[in-house]
């Protein structure tokens, strides 16, 4: 089996490219440290409001921790066959807010009455791509 690793390129994404990629997704992972414990990382449905992450949640340890600690939010897309993909990480602070002007419909049952916004202090991303191919689109070299 031939390895594709040496054929890939790792590129650093601009903030604009990161936000464009975030806009293509509807599920990401929010991470926050629990007091006296390890960080909790959970998937949430989200939407972008400009450069702000918006999601809904129920009361609990995640919401309590988000009120007091910095948060991270991560979204990625991976193609394991080609060993390519991208990852975007947003680091900032979360604030509970009133219902947003964006549509966020949680997949999980329950009211999810608490709206949360994550304001980015830093937005970073990377993409692993294959080199441009010199293969003719008709199948000829």
Q: Dump pLDDT digits (tens) for 43-68.
A: 999 999 999 999 999 998 889 999 98
pLDDT at 90: 98
Global pTM reads 0.85
- 8-47, pLDDT tens digit by residue? 899 999 999 999 999 999 999 999 998 888 899 999 999 9
Q: How far apart are CA 3 and CA 18, in angstroms?
A: 28
Q: Rounded to whole angstroms, what are the CA distances from 115 to 79, 99, 109?
A: 32, 6, 15
State the CATH architecture for 5-129.
Roll (2.30)
């Amino acid at each position: 089996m031939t390895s594709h690793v040496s054929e890939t390129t790792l590129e650093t994404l601009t903030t604009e490219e990161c936000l464009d990629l975030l806009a293509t997704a509807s599920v990401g992972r929010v991470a926050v440290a629990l007091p006296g414990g390890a960080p909790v990382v959970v998937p949430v449905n989200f939407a972008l409001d400009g450069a702000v992450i918006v999601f809904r949640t129920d009361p609990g340890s995640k919401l309590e921790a988000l009120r007091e600690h910095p948060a991270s939010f991560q979204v990625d897309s991976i193609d394991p066959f080609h060993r390519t993909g991208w990852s975007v990480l947003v680091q900032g602070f979360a604030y509970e807010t009133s219902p947003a002007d964006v549509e966020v419909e949680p997949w999980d049952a329950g009211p999810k009455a608490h709206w949360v916004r994550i304001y980015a202090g830093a937005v970073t991303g990377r993409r692993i791509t294959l080199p441009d191919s010199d293969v003719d689109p008709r199948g000829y070299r």
